[in-house]
Amino acid sequence: MASLFSNRIQLVQGDITRQSVSAIVNAANSSLLGGGGVDGAIHRAGGPAILEECRAIRARQGGCKTGEAVITTGGRLPAAHVIHTVGPVWNGGRKGEPELLANCYRNSLRLAEERQLESVAFPGISTGIYGYPKPEAAAVAVHEVRQWLAVHDWPQRVVFVVFDEENRRLYEQELAG
Ligand code: ADP
């Protein structure tokens, strides 16, 4: 069930690979060659075309740095595109993690704007294997998306897709505030 927090921000609990949006965001790693968690789920559901484009990007620019983003096809996913962004590994919070996480949201939204994508779905970047504390990560995610939407027309709609109960509660709190 999607909760509507504004006409441009929604919260959905479930699997991001099932979302019918213009682009889903992948919590990738800097190799762009796939991994566990949401990354593995996206490559499995979208098929080999995604990895093929990731390899081509790697050959051109040598992967993707933390905080940056690149865009590929969505392959067999309902979403036409995947935006791959590399979240920071949590290392105590004084190694620039909040700014790097904010960059992930901004750079992903910039790619969506450049292509005038109608809708983008984000997972909780860095809140799995990368260990970013979920409350702080939810605050960054909601703040950055709100800031972006306040001054940009594209994307028209952002969907936060949470997998677990804890993130659902945290996003609900952030979005209600
Ligand atoms: P990271 O390495 O950036 O921490 P993970 O993939 O380990 O990335 O986790 C990021 C977040 O995505 C976690 O909150 C995890 O619960 C969530 N997640 C994992 N699989 C899915 C999925 N299929 N759809 C949406 N969210 C998912």
pLDDT digits (tens, 9 = 90+) for 53-104: 999 999 999 999 999 999 999 999 999 999 999 999 999 999 999 999 999 9
Residue with tokens 């983008």: 120
177 — pLDDT class (breaks 50, 70, 90): confident
**C-alpha angle 34-144-100 in degrees, rounded to nearest 5:** 50
137 pocket-lining for ligand 1 (C-beta < 6 Å) = no
pLDDT at 4: 64
Tokens of 133: 């504390």
What global pTM score does this model have?
0.97
C-alpha 38 to ligand 1 mean position (Å): 4
Domains, the chain, with CATH or none: 2-176 (3.40.220.10)
118 pocket-lining for ligand 1 (C-beta < 6 Å) = no
pLDDT at 2: 65
- What are all long-range contacts of 3-6, with beta carbons under 8 Å and residues at least 24 apart? 3/172, 3/175, 5/175, 5/176
pLDDT digits (tens, 9 = 90+) for 82-93: 999 999 999 999
Q: What average pLDDT does this structure show over 145-171?
A: 97
Asked if 154 contacts 14 with a C-beta cutoff of 8 angstroms, the reply is no
> What HEC string does 32-62 produce?
CCCCCHHHHHHHHHHCHHHHHHHHHHHHHHC
Rounded to whole angstroms, the Cα distance separating 53 from 58 reads 9
* Mean pLDDT of the chain, nearest integer: 96
